[in-house]
Structure 1
């Protein structure tokens, strides 16, 4: 009994001491972190690139628990948390999770990380690990509760070893560069509550993702946005999502009905199914979800239907956020929506079929804070009653066909408004002064309207919180006093097409945090003040294009590493500067830059996506160091004085989609290395002195849509492999070279070809009859696709081409996709015009002039009803002009001169508009207007032009039939004697030798 009492006493004493230890433990702390963990951190630090010294504190001798991003246990000193994420800024974000290399960590993750055995929290998000795979050894960190690798620049497959992290509560792997073949490893994470796989490619795991997720009953939030999922199970044996509160399946490829089991997830607070192709009825049970506050049903398909009357009978009047973006609500917004009085956010953006005015019933939504009606087709003025929504913070009425002025009377009543977007409408008048009363406004976008008048300084007196100002494409005048100091600090400024000049805006000097600056086409002239270049290192967008700015750029020029720079269409001169830290977009086109491209230019531009310096006076050669610009998608150096050869190293820029080196002084052959450009879609090398043949290595450029080699010295035959190697070729321009041989029939198997120009070569033979295979020319090109390639953001290469049309060279850019043209002129082609040509009903330009074509003009030429330009001149065509030619109602240029045509010129329709007689000259048998020769009776072809009557034709046939055998007998008699008799042969040759000597002797005397 006493023994039992002693045991109890010892137990109570132990409990007491333990409580004392726990109570006082908060005041006790192990001095410093563990040596083993400190060494591991030092090793990790050495493997990382830290350009902005984010980890500078890791180099001192202090306690590593005080280093940046480190959190240790208060008692044991164990390292529990390692947070090395880069502070997120949306302007830095780029595809693949690559952030600003000047601020983000890069390099590699050293395996020493697993020596942090007590680590529970690891965050490496928003860094730039440049496509490295997620390290497998992370699966050995068994104590991890939270792992965030989202947008860290990792790529490849997600390692299944992460399934060993059995204590994991939160896993975030968002990235467009990651993928997973299956998700079964998730079933070994029993504690997982938060899973974010946004943008991860799960297309290979699409068949079983639902069943895998259903085996994780602890899940609270699940985000699978834009994961390439295409299959979703219609039924589940049992729904185990008992804790799920947030489910995001938006922007996938589901093409089925919405499964009913989703409506059985009773804990759902937020559900987003938008951006899919769901069909049929939205399950009525959704309205019975007791906790639902946010619902996204926006769809890119118009087959999804909602019975709003039934839904309103349910309990979802508690909805706070409703997103029906992209929904095809035929006939307008259902009135029942206005009864959802709990709504705080409503988006009906991209509702292309939503028309009519906004109903006044919207004022019932008294709690509404965010309203987006982007592309709601109103065709009315902005209704006054919108100003009754006093709680509005965000209002977007962009692209709504709004007309009239901005209502001024009650605008100031929206005192809570933070974002106002009225862009891309038809608003006119001036900006009302009452807009200046919106003191909470941070974003103002009035771009692409018809607003006029002066923008007063007083408008901005109360707008102290304004961060983004966009007034581009209006007729506004904004010229404040030189000493004006704005009350705001802007991060985004776009005043393009407003009248700011001629002075450079001095008030910009006060703006310390500008990231986006667009002053394009603002009538600024003169030289940029030197203080402006102090702003550029922080600019992500600089657009000063289409002004009258002079002077030289600073050299070196300091820019943000991810900057887009557009200085085109000005008068900048001097050398191209070296740009420190590089840029993503650099457009220096149409200025007066001179000298060579500096040798060190390419060394700082490894991340450049777009480079255009066309229309300058650049000389020298293309530097061979261009191979270091391996992110380059557009290279445009056209219209300069660049000489030498195309460097072999250009083939190492494997991301190139557009190359334009036309109108320079390049020589030599096309290097074989260009065959490495597998992404190349358009290549312009015209107007140089290039020579040689079209190399077989170009066969590998299978994505080519435009090949322009015109005005060079290329020779040989046109390759027959072009049609198979370039299946998407739209434009083939080989004009003005020295190509020989026939036009390969295989060339006409290019079904996408809409422009074929092989004029001014030495081609011979017949025009292939396989013209009917040119499918793109068989029908009218009704939709104008602006052909653009590569680049980044709003900068891209716009396809352009000079086409011989209507007797002159015309440049096509934005409408090039509508041009259909065949130009075979100035060659040695013979034979007749093939009948199959009349099957190309979409043809607009046809030029066969300057050849040796015979026969008649096709009687069915009138079928080519879209022809605008037709040139058959300088051939040997005969017969009458077909009457069907008068059916060519779009024809505005015609040239039939210098042929053997005869008879009366047809009249009627479009032919009556051609009053220039020169288009028929050189045809002695033609008569009638506009020629002065009148037609009398039935004309017969005149003899002088080589056309005989029937009687003369019969006599000539008898003559030729007699001459032919006589010539043959005489010729072979003489040849036979010379072959068989040697002495006669010697005398014959001596006779011609003497005749030759006498001829040259007489010619010499005549000349001298």
Structure 2
């Protein structure tokens, strides 16, 4: 009983002591006048009402918002000024009067990039200091090391530099330290200073930049209390040349057995996960995204019995998924809740052991190379909430047993090859579904249009699946819906009025590539809280050009039947519009002047009936894309276009433009695509085109350009598509065209991809390939390389230097006046899909290297003077259409059913001076005999000239020599007679063959 009373008294004593020591806002306690005046002076330079200081009135500062005082003495001990909208470069030292201050939060303000005052290091009682997000700059003062009682230090998200980290070792009480977004010199010094802090529990260095690399090992790991380490998105640089430093995962890291949270995503580490990770049994979260782990995942990972989240997204595992079974066995399979393996280069089928991870909430295997069906073992994952298999190669039927996963909120199976029918039954138990993504599969959604769904969706993407023909009425009940993509779903119906008027949360609406019809009302009630993205292209909408909500940011109405003029107020009513496509409608009239005052960065009004002059938008400097192709605009290309520093894509194809190419285009220094084909431009190609160094695509086809091609075009090192076809250009092909650097790089080897996508805008362009014009989107434009000089009057030989363009896929020189032989190394262009050299005056044998063109789909050499054997092997054996060889009468080969006798004319190397008129199917033996006769004649004539008199003199003097000589002459006559008869017989035989071919 006495012990019980003693315990009660001790508890009461403790509570009274705690109450006395606690900060207090009691009206009986008032702060000292000096401290009140110090606070007022500190904020005196600010508008206290605007900055949230409306409560800072009266003499008792303990009652002010953000101020707390010691409950016993009244001294200010707690000052929280977070997010008070300070906007000044002042930092008054009057705060030093707050001698008892233990808590100071000045985060989320704007101190105008001033340095952190060093006098903050004088607050001896401070245990909490937060200066994050406040626009401090300069070097972190070393005097902060005097804050020996500090437990929390947050310097993150400023513009600070840490040049000497030694003072960190003096913060012996520190528990939590955040140095994210800092520039830290000497990474090793920083790490060793922190290693001397035995109480530290959390170290945050997210997105910091370190000079130097972390040591691979430490003499002693002192992080005995560390539970969180965040080095994600850090950058390590070599101070000598500012190049990035990479290294393997350090050994000391896996000796910190107290760690519970380890974040190393995009930290510049490479190599293996050591087996020592199995000793980190306290780990709950491990994020190792964007790390090269080519050896896979160690089996010791299975020892981590507390691991809840494993994120290896965008790392390179490069393994079959079923080979990782041992790593996900043991106690890990019972603890793991969130597994992220997106974009890790894993392949193979989805193994059954995935179904043994029985507590899994999130399974993300997207962006890989998985194949085969979805295994039924997944249906054992009763706690699964997110299933993401997007963008793999999965096939087979939609898994019916998924209906049992009643906790699923996100079902993402898009961009696979799944088949089958999904009925209302499959969704009957999925009452928690919020996200459905089935896009780009061959699935049929057998849902009645007035179905009552058991869920409330926020995201629905079934692009490319079969849903129609009725517009789904059941969408009317999906009130939370913000994202909707019903493109290419076979809908052939009008859009009901409720869709335009009651879907008030929709911010993304894609209905493209259907047969939707009707008139769009001018009153549309979608979400008004965010930007709207609307794509109604390739349907049968009609009527006048409709108005859309004022917050519409991107609008695609192309390929419909809208008619009439663009309303004058169209752009004024949508001030946030930045992407617009009205192409391929029945729009006429002029372009409203108000277009110049809009926020448009992308304007596409191609293939309409617009007329008049393009408005003078001289002050609109944000234009990125302009496409006015196939209209009847007058006035040419306005000078103000190139005043926009952001202009990248300019399309005015088939726009009735004429005259010489305007010199104002020479200021379009940043244009990536210049498409002016199908106009009536005249004159020569200007030299200044070679100054447009950013050009990736240049199309001037089907104009009336004359003269030679300027060699300066070869300065366009970024060029991957050059189309000058169907003009009146003459002269030789510049040898320097072999220097197009981007065409010299095969895409398959370099991964070189051009970016033609900005935001939700995808570039597209009409290209003439394989004899037909098609529209190519950004995905294809980014991966194709074309050189088309066809249908001109170019002369001379094909430069051998063009065979340096190893990335070339389409090569068309047809319908010119080119002469000479085909380049011997043409087979080096191994990426070629299309090769057309027809209708020229080329001659000689076909290079045997043509057999190397294993991707060649179309080729044509008709109407030239080629001779000899057609090469065989690989693709060459498939080109058996006589039309592609017609007009080359001396070709032979099985492809054209003309046999070759002997080794006829296969070029194995460059040859010089071969006549195009010599019958190349005369046998090689006749050629050899011809050489023998010629040699015999030369010897006879030479012998006669040199030795006539010497022999004659000897004959006159020596009788024995006369007898021998006449016998020699008789023998020589007999030999010559036999040789000549053999040669004449062979010649007669071969001439009869020639007559047969000619006939």
TM-score, normalised to structure 1, is 0.70
User: Using a 3 Å threshold, how does the CA distance of structure 1 residues 652 and 468 change in structure 2: closer, same or farther?
Assistant: same
Which residue matches 1:628? 597
Partner of 1:342: 306
Question: What is the aligned counterpart of 2:364 among 368, 387, 396?
Answer: 396
Q: How far apart in 2 are the matches of 1:189 and 1:685?
A: 68
Larger Rg: 2
Closer/same/farther in 2, CA of residues 252 and 682 from structure 1, 3 Å limit: farther
Q: Determine whether 1:511 maps to 2:478.
A: yes
CA 1:421–1:836 in structure 2 vs 1: closer, same or farther (change >3 Å)? Answer: closer
1:679-690 alignment, distance < 5 Å? 679-690=646-657
Output one character per residue of 1:725-758: Cα deviation in whole Å (capped at 9) or x when no partner. 3223222211222334432221123233233222
CA distance in 2, matches of 1:888, 1:409: 47
1:270 paired residue among 221, 228, 231? 228
Specify the alignment match of 1:495 in structure 2: 462
**2:542 equivalent to 1:542:** no
2:202 aligned to 246, 250, 265, which one? Answer: 246
Work out whether 1:610 is the aligned partner of 2:579.
yes
Instruction: State whether residues 678 and 703 of structure 1, in contact with CA within 8 Å, keep that contact through their aligned partners in structure 2.
Output: yes
1:370 aligns with 338
Question: Following superposition of structure 1 onto structure 2, how do residues 186-225 of structure 1 map, counting pairs within 5 Å?
Answer: 193=152, 195=154, 197=156, 208=163, 221-223=176-178
Structure-to-structure mapping, 1:107-122, within 5 angstroms: 120-122=80-82
The DSSP-based 3-state class of the residue aligned with 2:742 is helix
Is it true that 1:894 corresponds to 2:860 in the alignment? yes
* Structure 1: tracts of 5 or more residues without a match: 1-17, 29-36, 49-57, 59-63, 83-117, 126-132, 944-1008
Q: Secondary structure at the match of 1:776?
A: coil
Q: Pairwise CA RMSD of aligned residues?
A: 4.9
2:320 to 355, 361, 381: 355
Structure 1 residue 269, shift from structure 2 partner: 2.0
Q: Secondary structure at the match of 1:520?
A: coil
- Give how far 1:266 is off: 4.6
In 1, Cα distance between the equivalents of 2:247 and 2:307?
25
- Asked whether the equivalents of residues 626 and 651 of structure 2 are also in contact (C-alpha less than 8 Å), the reply is yes
> For 1:321-343, what per-residue CA distance to the aligned partner results, in whole angstroms no more than 9, with x for missing partners?
12222333344321211112122
The answer on whether the counterparts of 1:450 and 1:474 sit within 8 Å (CA) in structure 2 is yes
Q: Which residue of 1 aligns with 2:287?
A: 323
Structure 1 stretch displaced more, 268-277 or 565-574:
268-277
Query: Which of 734, 740, 762 is equivalent to 2:700?
Result: 734
Of 228-237 and 577-586, deviating more is 228-237
Q: Is 701-710 or 393-402 further displaced after alignment? A: 393-402
- Partners in 2 of 1:912 and 1:391 — Cα distance? 56
Question: 1:748 is matched with which residue: 714, 719, 722?
Answer: 714
Q: CA distance change for structure 1 residues 893 and 274 in 2, over 3 Å: closer, same or farther?
A: same
Verify the 8 A CA contact 1:691 1:713 in the aligned structure 2: yes
C-alpha distance 912-294 of structure 1, shift in aligned 2 (>3 A) = closer
Q: Which moved more, 1:742-751 or 1:291-300?
A: 291-300
Within a 5 Å distance, the mapping from 1:175-190 to structure 2 comes to 183=140
1:768-847 matches, cutoff 5 A: 768-778=734-744, 780-782=746-748, 787-792=754-759, 795-803=760-768, 805-809=769-773, 811-813=775-777, 814-830=779-795, 833-834=798-799, 836-840=801-805, 842-847=807-812
Structure-1 separation of matches of 2:225 and 2:501: 54
1:698 alignment partner, SS class = helix
- CA shift, 1:840, in A, is 4.3
Taking the aligned partners of 1:539 and 1:550, their CA distance within structure 2 comes to 20
Deviations 1:548-573 (A, max 9, x none): 21112221434434122222222222
Whole-angstrom distance in 1 between the partners of 2:776 and 2:398: 38
Q: Deviations over 1:621-648 (max 9, x none)?
A: 3333233334x44332222222223333
The equivalent residue for 2:415 is: 448
Cα-to-partner distance string for 1:449-481 (whole Å, 9 max, x where unaligned): 444444343444444333222233333333444
Question: Helix, strand or coil for the counterpart of 1:782?
Answer: helix
Moved more, 245-254 or 218-227: 218-227
CA contact (8 A) 1:356 1:377 kept: no
Q: Is the 8 A contact 1:842 1:864 kept in 2?
A: no
1:576 offset after TM fit, Å? 2.8
In structure 2, the gaps of 5 or more residues are 1-19, 31-39, 68-77, 237-244, 906-913, 919-999
Contact 1:404 1:427 in 2 (8 A): yes
The 5 Å alignment of 1:99-138 reads: 120-123=80-83, 136=89
SS of the residue 1:318 aligns to: coil
Aligned-pair CA distance for 1:589:
2.5
**Match among 187, 190, 200 for residue 232 of structure 1:** 187
TM-score w.r.t. structure 2 length? 0.71
SS at match of 1:341: coil
Give 1:707 deviation, angstroms.
1.5
Cα deviation digits, residues 961-995 of structure 1 (max 9, x gap): xxxxxxxxxxxxxxxxxxxxxxxxxxxxxxxxxxx
